[in-house]
Structure 1
């Protein structure tokens, strides 16, 4: 089951929109975590940021495609 979204007459897969939405949420979470000092307790901040993004993207994808 592939979801297609029509945006201004252009058909794009829904996963692209989910990817962009997850990116915006991850940027906001990154700022919150940086302000709270969470990254001081994380072994590898880049890996942690990537894992957070993957969790957000997978969660929204599973909600939509379930």
Structure 2
């Protein structure tokens, strides 16, 4: 997979669309976990949300750099 993506002649790093996709996936997972009541059981919900974003982004970016 290429390391850059050309968008109208502008080279963007491949990690930028992956990060945007991970934000969207995290928002969906955040909504679902909120509906299921998971945030009532975790110690620090904001830290849990940040870690969830890091895990999703890492999972998407890992195949790119393997």
In structure 2, the partner of 1:8 is: 8
CA distance in 2, matches of 1:28, 1:34: 10
- Report deviation, 1:28: 0.3
TM-score by length of 1: 0.92
Compute the RMSD of aligned alpha carbons: 1.1
Q: Deviations over 1:6-56 (max 9, x none)?
A: 122221000111110100000000000000000010000000000000001
* Structure 2 unmatched runs, 5+: none
Equivalent positions of 1:1-66 (< 5 A) are 3-66=3-66
* Structure 1 unmatched runs, 5+: none
Count, aligned residues: 65
- Report deviation, 1:64: 1.5
CA distance in 1, matches of 2:40, 2:8: 44
TM-score by length of 2: 0.92
Find runs of 4+ consecutive structure 1 residues off by over 4 angstroms: none
